[in-house]
Amino acid sequence: MSLSLKPVEAQVMVITGASSGIGLATADTAAQQGAKLVLAARSQGALDEIVQHINEAGGEAIAVVADVADRQQVEGIAEAAISRFGRIDTWVNDAGGSIYGKLEEVSEADSRRLFDTNFWGVVNGSLAALPHLKKQGGALINLGSEVSEAVIPLQGMYAASKHAVKGFTDALRVELELEDAPISVTLIQPTAVNTPFPQHAKNYMDKEPALPTPQKDPYDVASAIVHAASHPERDIKVGMMSKMNTAMAKFAPGLGDKMAQMQANRQHYDEAPRNPGGALYTAGGTAQTHGSGPADKA
């Protein structure tokens, strides 16, 4: 089957996790290219601010407050898109979070909550989108990570959830190809990105969490996502470190393990943690695309 995707300016695009970071950068980028947007997250205030800004700039967007861990709420996102725009052309599963801490220290409840968002949120979004995408064709875009294949210490459960996202996405792609469905399924695998990700993570450490450098700009990831919305791609690795780390995990896993060990002391600042609870259980949307760590204030 020859798969043809609409140009972005002719699309209705759903984006989860749209209240900050990569999701917000994707909303900005897609809006600038003329897409109609359905933006979903848990933070009503942040979503309202973002939608108002897009609409005042001449775009068209609506907000849907939803927790992607709840399948019924995710179905509500799809229903809102159909009610307002009549179709869905691209669905982006971006919502996610992390936990900083050793695996033996992280509680089972916290680990399960992380999987509910990072993995089951992708499953819920994908399955809610499929019936609509099958009708006229479209793109399903899931946010993985370089740690969908590699690993990083002190974020072990995050890495596990992103491995699961890759497995689900790859299996779903194969099943859709078997039935000749007109859907492009893309996995986006960024390296570390300068977003509020560390501040939104649950933190078991006694220091402020950080992402190692170098970090990509969230708009670089957004560009890859918007590209995949109109150009069928199997997967896109964003950043040289993503390409290097995933290749190392595949072809030199022992060396990859040693390199990963070196990241342990690069995942925190020297300051005391500001918000150890993060956004694991409560909305953390701040309408900020970029990070707010001590080293990022300048």
| Positions marked active-site | 158
C-alpha closest to that of 82 among 34, 126, 135, 30: 135
Query: ∠ CA(95), CA(200), CA(242), 5° rounding?
Result: 65
Q: What are the backbone dihedrals phi and psi of residue 249, each rounded to the nearest 5 degrees, phi first?
A: -60, -30
Contact 5, 184 (CB under 8 A): yes
Q: Where are the beta strands (DSSP E) in 66-191?
A: 90-93, 99-100, 138-143, 183-190
CA atoms of 61 and 53, how far apart (whole Å):
9
Q: What are the backbone dihedrals phi and psi of residue 280, each rounded to the nearest 5 degrees, phi first?
A: -60, -40
CA atoms of 25 and 37, how far apart (whole Å):
13
Cα 99 to the chain's mean position, in Å? 15
Q: Where are the beta strands (DSSP E) in the chain?
A: 12-16, 36-41, 60-65, 90-93, 99-100, 138-143, 183-190, 202-203, 235-238
Q: What are the backbone dihedrals phi and psi of residue 108, each rounded to the nearest 5 degrees, phi first?
A: -60, -40
What's the helix, strand, coil split of the chain in %, to 5? Answer: 45, 15, 35
Contact 192, 241 (CB under 8 A): yes
Other CB atoms within 10 A of residue 10 CB: 12
- For residue 66, what are its two tokens? 């939803």
